[in-house]
């Protein structure tokens, strides 16, 4: 089957232009709802998060209508990072999770990304079947079986607690001054709160979303703003996120952007020492440089390159 909707990271496009229209979001919600309601369980749930784009309201409501029309109950998280949807989908016993975002792209774009009940991206086969259902006749639920929608006000706090739980007990970030650039996106509240609660002195940037300024001169696609703030304030570290906070750029105390391959090498080295590196293998894209491969080879770590796009 030739794909018409799904790309490498869900369905994306310019907001209010095919395929990123309210009509298509409605059909996608109904198709995904029908796909995940294949068993006879009496309760079916979907968790929906979004970033701060203006079009998120339109797409969120359309998806909700589609899912509830097939009998799915919808739990609305509001603006949360993409990883929050991955974490909260299984913890809230949902059948499927959805993130409404176009990641690092401009505010005029948007996208819909699905997660399975395990919190991971759907398989190609699942996406193909949902796409097939979009272009077929979907039988709606009986009127007495229409789903409900509920806004989850503490979704961000649940995610914050999960993130903090990964930090070693008995350690804090006290004495560390951190510039955190949230790109006016999904992590504009969660990221500064996590750092502050762990003890850091937080210098926030890109935390005033207005629906149009996501990724606009701030965030991981424009780390210069954070670098300048580091030099102005004497901060120890800069962290730049993108619109949905699933990618990061790190900046050192001099305002220099850290090379991504170097960061991956450091993580791989440490995890290999701790026995946490699965298969003693690091997966990176074909864009990673030869220096990373040589560094890992010297430490008997396998580099697996994957295609981009």
Same fold, 11-158 and 167-251: yes
Q: Taking the model in full, what pTM does it have?
A: 0.92
Q: Domain extents for the chain?
A: 11-158, 167-251, 261-306
* pLDDT computed for residue 289 by the predictor: 86
- Region 228-247: what's the mean pLDDT? 97
Domain 11-158 belongs to what topology? Alpha-D-Glucose-1,6-Bisphosphate; Chain A, domain 3 (3.40.120)
CATH tag for 167-251 (out of 3.10.129.10, 3.30.390.10, 3.90.226.10, 3.40.120.10): 3.40.120.10
Q: Please, which pLDDT band fits residue 305 given cuts at 50, 70 and 90?
A: confident
* pLDDT computed for residue 1 by the predictor: 53
> Quick one: what percent of the chain has pLDDT higher than 70?
97
Q: Please, which pLDDT band fits residue 39 given cuts at 50, 70 and 90?
A: low
Per-position b or e across 233-245, b if 16+ CB within 10 A of its CB: eebbbbbbbbbbb
**Cα 154 to Cα 165: distance, rounded to the nearest angstrom:** 17
* pLDDT computed for residue 38 by the predictor: 67
Active site residue 103: yes
* Residue of 55, 103, 220, 288 with catalytic role: 103
- Region 12-29: what's the mean pLDDT? 97
| Per-residue pLDDT tens over the stretch 166-223 | 999 989 999 999 999 999 999 999 999 999 999 999 999 999 999 999 999 999 999 9
């Amino acid at each position: 089957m030739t794909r018409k909707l799904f790309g490498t990271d869900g369905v994306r496009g310019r907001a209010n232009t095919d395929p990123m229209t309210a009509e298509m979001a409605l059909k996608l919600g109904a198709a995904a709802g029908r796909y995940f309601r294949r068993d006879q369980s009496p309760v079916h749930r979907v968790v929906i998060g979004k970033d701060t784009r203006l079009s998120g309201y339109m797409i969120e409501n359309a998806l909700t209508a589609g899912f509830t029309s097939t009998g799915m109950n919808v739990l609305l998280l509001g603006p949360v990072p993409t990883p929050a949807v991955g974490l909260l989908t299984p913890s809230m016993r949902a059948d499927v999770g959805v993130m409404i975002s176009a990641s690092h792209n401009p505010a005029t774009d948007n996208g819909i990304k699905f997660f399975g009940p395990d919190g991971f991206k759907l398989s190609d086969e699942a996406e193909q079947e949902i796409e097939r259902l979009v272009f077929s006749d979907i039988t709606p639920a009986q009127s007495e079986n229409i789903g409900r929608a509920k806004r989850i006000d503490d979704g961000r706090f649940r995610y914050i607690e999960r993130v903090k739980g990964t930090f070693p007990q008995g350690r804090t970030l006290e004495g560390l001054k951190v510039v955190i650039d949230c790109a006016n996106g999904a992590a504009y509240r969660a990221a500064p709160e996590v750092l502050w609660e762990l003890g850091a002195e937080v210098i926030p940037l890109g935390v005033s979303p207005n629906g149009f300024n996501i990724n606009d001169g701030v965030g991981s696609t424009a780390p210069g703003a954070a670098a300048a703030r580091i030099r102005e304030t004497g901060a120890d570290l800069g962290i730049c996120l993108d619109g949905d906070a699933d990618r990061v750029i790190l900046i050192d105390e001099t305002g220099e952007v850290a090379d991504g391959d170097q960061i991956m090498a450091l993580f791989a080295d440490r995890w290999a020492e701790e026995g946490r590196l699965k298969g003693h293998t690091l997966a990176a894209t074909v864009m990673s440089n030869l220096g990373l491969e040589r560094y890992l080879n010297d430490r008997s770590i396998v580099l697996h390159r994957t295609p981009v796009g």
